[in-house]
Amino acid sequence: MGSIQDFAAYLKENGQELGEKLLVYSLGKVDIEIPKHMVEDARKNNGRFFEFFSETLIVEKEESVEEKYLKWSKENIEQQVSMIDKLSSLIKPYPDTRMYFSDLIGTICLNNNLSTKDTLFVLNRLNFILDINMRESVLIFERYKNRINEESRREILELSAPIVPIQPGVVVLPLVGKIDAARAEHLMTKTIPAMSEMELDCVIIDFSGIVTVDNEVAGHVFDITNVLKLLGVDVNVSGLRPELAQHIVLNGIHFKDIQTFSNVQQAVKDWDVKIL
């Protein structure tokens, strides 16, 4: 009857060969193209995994195994996750790969004459590590995607409120889409400070790209105009289409303290008359 120690020694000695078998199988299950350098990294890591796995068979406590595996695999998991654009690409091949892995280790157990008890121990330890790997992969994928989404959101915010100079001292602030709390904060904390450094005389806030105007949007606009007025900047509004104007009146939104124009061109002409 074989022993766990002999079985662990076999895995360590034949790790590269076993890792190659696992790599060939795994590559046949993924639906994305893997760069050559990452295939080589996977080849090395697979061999190292069998060596690592052999060492965990000598450790009794699963808590120690989890701690060791997390330290060992962190960089490898992060690299794999960075290549995946959707969670299904990560999860889809997992059941088949896990089954192949279990069959491979189970066969080695039989060939090394392990007892039923020891074989169950080895397979349970393997499945425990694979479960940790899947859990960490999902968590890292979520953190990675959240970071990408946050970066994209910041870029969208930057593009959603451009300051467009049209003549010395005069800029247009075109508003497009929906103004939510995040965009309002961006306008107040990024756009307005940028304007304060431009030595402006007049800002034209253009509503041509706004679909609806509610009390919340109006409140954000008033906040912006009040800040600009405190900075000594004249503020005009343009682009209020008839349906928007009607919506404003029906909802009791008051723009009476803000001069409005049908388009940017009219607002600019009016400003030119003022400064003559």
What is the tens place of the pLDDT at every residue in 62-75? 778 888 888 877 76
What's the CA gap between 170 and 190, in Å, rounded?
Answer: 18
Return the H-helix or E-strand segment holding 260.
strand 259-261
Q: 127 vs 260, which has greater pLDDT?
A: 127
| Domains observed in the chain | 4-154 (1.10.490), 164-275 (3.30.750.24)
What confidence category does residue 214 fall into, taking pLDDT thresholds of 50, 70 and 90? low
What is the tens place of the pLDDT at every residue in 227-254? 888 888 898 988 877 776 776 677 666 6
Query: What letters, b where the CB count within 10 A reaches 16 and e where it falls short, cover 252-269?
Result: ebebeeeebbeebeebbe
- What's phi and psi for 28, nearest 5 deg? -75, -10
The residue whose two tokens read 């896990």 is 98
What's the CA gap between 175 and 61, in Å, rounded?
Answer: 60
pLDDT score recorded for residue 82: 65
pLDDT score recorded for residue 193: 86
SS3 of 19, please? helix
CB atoms closer than 10 angstroms to residue 174: 19
Q: Which of 129-133, 184-188, 213-217 has the lowest mean pLDDT?
A: 213-217
- The pTM for the full model equals 0.59
What is the tens place of the pLDDT at every residue in 94-124? 888 889 989 999 999 999 999 999 999 999 9
Give the CA distances from residue 59 to residues 72, 122, 140, 262, in Å, rounded to whole numbers and listed in that order. 15, 11, 26, 76
DSSP string, 110-122: HHTT--HHHHHHH
> Both ends of the chain: CA-CA distance in Å?
103
Q: Which of 43-47, 79-83, 146-150, 188-192 has the lowest mean pLDDT?
A: 79-83
Query: What letters, b where the CB count within 10 A reaches 16 and e where it falls short, cover 79-89?
Result: ebbeebeeeee
Q: Sign of dihedral through CA atoms 144, 146, 149, 153? A: negative
